[in-house]
Structure 1
């Protein structure tokens, strides 16, 4: 079973990463030119969170795995949104 502290830490990291990525998504929606470095960093951070969630799931109990699964879905949805938005803007990732 994953410890309560490790789950709490991961949850906070995921929330922070999602907030950062959502901010990049909003900024790129409002303007034609946006900070490519931050946009790419948001995608990289989301991917790292996805991997961290998968790793944590290996040592999680059933309830924790359900919570991790919901977090993983949020991360994936935001990744997909960023990628689609980037492809519309001519960016390639």
Structure 2
């Protein structure tokens, strides 16, 4: 079972990655030209966090896995939005 502290840290990492990616998404939609480095960094952070969730799920109980799955879906949706907007 994953410890409460490790789950809280991962959830905070997820929220931070989502917040940063949403900020980059918003900035890119407002500007014709946006900072590619920050946009790419946001995508990288989302992917890294997604991988961390997958690792944590191996050690999680059923309730924690459910929470991780819901967070994973949020990350995937945001990743997809960023990729589609990048085109």
TM range (shorter): over 0.9
How far is the alpha carbon of 1:64 from its aligned partner? 0.1
Q: TM-score, normalised by structure 1?
A: 0.93
Runs of 4+ displaced beyond 2 Å: none
Q: Which has the higher contact order (CA 8 A, sep 6+)?
A: 2
2:17 matches 1:17: yes
Q: Distance in 1 between matches of 2:49 and 2:9?
A: 12
* CA drift at 1:68: 0.0
List alignment gaps of at least 5 residues for structure 1.
88-93
Compute the TM-score of the two structures, normalised by the length of structure 2: 0.99
For the aligned residue pairs, the C-alpha RMSD in angstroms reads 0.3
- 5+ residue gaps in structure 2? none
